[in-house]
Amino acid sequence: MPHQGSYINGAWVTGAGKVQRNLNPADLAEVVAEFPTARSADALAAIAAAEAAWPMWKAVPAPERGRILARAAAIARTRLDEIATLLTREEGKILAEAKGEVIKGINCLDFCGGQGYRLGGKVLPSEAVDTAASTLRQPIGVAGIITPWNFPWSNPCWKIAPALVAGCTVVFKPASATPLTASCLVEILEEAGLPAGVLNMVVGSGAEVGETIVTHPATKVLSFTGSNPVGARLYESGARKLAKVTCEMGGKNALIVMPDADLERAVEGVIGGGFGSSGQRCTATSRLLVHVDVKARLLEMLVAATSALKVGNGLDPTSQMGPVVDQDQLHTDLSYIEIAKHEGLKLIAGGSMEASAGNGYFLRPTIFDGAKATHRLFQEEVFGPVLAVSEFTTYEEAIELANGVVFGLSSALYTQSLVTAQRFIQDIHAGMAHVNEPSIGGEAQLPFGGVGCTGVGDREMGEEGVNFFTQLKTVFINYARSGERSMCR
């Protein structure tokens, strides 16, 4: 069992706050962890440790920083089943999805390990004679990292790994609902050889611990994933102290089905995108836009497939969807179901709790038909297994509907037409576009992020994710011999 506490300056410590009891969302009789939570004083100690460690860490050659991450990836691979099982017990997603998440996080560690050999700038021509011009990347300083509960392993990996390889030290606040999986990651990085003070974790509330990290003058760079209201406040706080900030927030992702689509493949994409991880992902398919010519057939297939899904404990290998994470999220989901009914949408699947699944927060995957752009279920992020269906008659109408929300994270299109696919890639207002596959997913070497109210700041993952934690320095070297004069710039 991983440590249950905070990690500050290379030591596991008991926070000064009250003990937090976390339950298995699929079995409320099981206490997964009891965490003594951190207070502001603990966060201040963590920031001080990171600040003190930074001069040493930034001086470590980038390839060596990368080798530590590569060792962490190797250790994590040997513990894949253990981490995935812990993740399922703590967050609720089915074991197959948990294993996929752990592998994705390992891929991020691997990729960033390799970036230790590729971290650099450019050599560019100078206007002046006898002058060499170039850029180099240097770490910014102490990084404050705040992660969500829905991906408690991979999201910390894709934030912490690039910060470390770039040469930043880290103060990390995991989500209060899933600190045990985060502790496992910290233990692995410690085992891989990360020096004391370079990575610090404080488990506590956003209002106290998170606020301390965000507002402290020593945290020069901030990376956040979570809700729009919290992200907006964090961005404002970062701007006031001129910190570099990236926030990945909400999504209301559309999946478009054209009349020439492979309907069986499209249904698979809707099921995986809409109900995978119980719909609790920012890239989840939450709006289905279907051409009127194929709508009846598609919905017939979709309702049958949705109704056949087995909802249950994620550790049961026959379960196809786990519970939602906690009572608050279940209440949100049920509230939106009632809102949709009140607005006159037609319930065609689910809509209630799954009593047969056991003592947990189980909700049947839910589909509403007849969603218009004016409906709240069309516009607002639910973050649960609740899908809104709309119809269209032309490609232009589909794009207008898809782009008719404030968010712009991910998107998907099912078609057999290369022309339509290319038009969609150009026209969709989103940071990521998928053709003939679900709206979910990302890869370690590719940038991740969105537009509009989905996010601000640089993209995460890929080369861009590492560069975010650096600042550029431009260098001029004049090598004219004594007595010679170079042309003035």
Q: How many CB atoms lie within 10 A of CB 241?
A: 15
Smallest CA-to-CA distance from 409 within 389, 385, 390, 381 is with: 381
Distance CA 453, CA 461 (A): 19
Distance CA 81, CA 14 (A): 28
Smallest CA-to-CA distance from 447 within 429, 425, 468 is with: 468
Distance CA 257, CA 427 (A): 16
Active site residue 127: no
Strand order in the sheet with 123-124: 123-124, 131-139, 470-478
Smallest CA-to-CA distance from 344 within 379, 365, 367, 375 is with: 375
CB of 15 closer than 8 Å to CB of 200: no
Half-sphere exposure of 227 (CA within 13 A, CB side): 10
> Taking CA 35 as the corner, what is the angle to CA 22 and CA 313, rounded to the nearest 5 degrees?
25
Largest pairwise CA distance in the chain: 89
Q: Name the active-site residue from 208, 282, 391, 453.
A: 282
Q: Name the active-site residue from 190, 248, 381, 391.
A: 248
Active site residue 282: yes
Report which residue type is found at 463: E
Kindly state the tokens that stand for 363: 């909700």
Catalytic residues: 248, 282
